[in-house]
Amino acid sequence: MVNESKIWEHLEDVFDPEVPVLSIVDLGIVRGVQVVKDHVSITITPTYSGCPAMHTIEKDIELKLKKEAISSYEIHTSIAPAWTTDWMSEIGKKKLKAYGIAPPQDEVDKSVLFADPLVVPCPKCNSSDTKLVSQFGSTACKAHYQCSTCKEPFDYFKCLR
Ligand SMILES: [Zn+2]
């Protein structure tokens, strides 16, 4: 018997292709799960429009559902309202930091990233003495920073509305 909480559990096993420690549930990509009889319908919202990872995520969801012997399903993509870093769970932010990527800074993020020198604490030593190296890190979704205290380079997850 399929139910909604079971599906949420399955989706916790589907990881973001760009940040493999985060499940799509941690990221807040999964917006809704509905089960009517045995038919599952899942709504996802891409982290940013044109994110090439979205196609992979859809495929990964399908693979997971098939593995769980769920054959009647549909996956919808909803682009409005747009994904925001606020949807990322607190656990997700902790996992991101443990992985060495600075999690989005809630309030500061909404100010203009390009105009304000944004203080992004180093995920390794927590020093706030860091500097922006490049607006684009390993993917378009991340900015590249370097810590002036421990000298470690790191990515900052900057996906915005
Ligand atoms: Zn550091």
The pLDDT tens digits for 96-105 are: 899 998 887 7
What is the domain range of residue 138?
A: 90-157
pLDDT above 70 covers a percentage of the chain that reads 84
User: Which residues hold their Cβ within 5 A of ligand 1, which is an ion?
Assistant: 122, 124-125, 127, 147, 149-150
- The reply to whether 47 and 66 lie within a common domain is yes
More confident residue, 104 or 132: 132
Cβ(73)–Cβ(107) below 8 Å: no
Whether the predicted pLDDT of 5 surpasses 90: yes
CA of 123 from ligand 1 middle (Å) equals: 7
Q: What is the pLDDT of residue 13?
A: 96
Q: Which of 37, 67, 83 is the last residue of a domain?
A: 83
Last residue of a domain, one of 67, 83, 99: 83
Residue 68: which pLDDT band, with cuts at 50, 70 and 90? very high
Residues 19 and 78 in one domain: yes
The answer to whether residues 72 and 96 belong to one domain is no
Cα of 25 vs centre of ligand 1, distance in Å, is 28
d(CA 40, CA 70): 8
Q: What is the pLDDT of residue 161?
A: 37
Instruction: Give yes or no for residue 81 having a pLDDT over 50.
Output: yes
Number of structural domains in the chain:
2
Nearest in space to 78 (alpha carbons), one of 8, 5, 25, 29 = 29
Q: Which of 83, 109, 127 is the last residue of a domain?
A: 83
Same domain, 130 and 111: yes
